[in-house]
Amino acid sequence: MNVLITFDSTNFAIQCEAVLKQQGIKGNIMPTPREITKSCGISIKIFHDDLEKVKELIKEGKIKVKRLYKFDENKIFEPIE
């Protein structure tokens, strides 16, 4: 299971990528699927194991995200609350 992080702007995505690297969290930039959102064209895919670390970074205000989604190999996206 993977997690997709979406953003309101490309700038937020780039900032997030830098913070994830600093924290030792591996993230891969990928195009945002159009069925999810049309706001920002790039997203970051992370492993589900890093989800709690990412939630903490959001809570601390270190990264600004639009939404988190979990998805599997079938590319079925479910929002994470």
> Which amino acid appears at position 49 of this protein?
D
CA atoms within 13 A on the CB side of 66: 20
What predicted TM-score, i.e. pTM, was given to this entire model?
Answer: 0.92
Q: Residue 37: what pLDDT?
A: 74
Vertex 46, ends 42 and 52: CA angle to 5°?
120
Count CB atoms within 10 A of the CB of residue 23: 15
pLDDT per residue as tens digits for the range 24-44 = 999 999 999 888 877 778 999
Q: Are 4 and 66 in contact (CB under 8 A)?
A: no
Q: What percent of the chain has pLDDT over 90?
A: 78
Domains of the chain: residue spans and CATH: 2-68 (3.30.70)
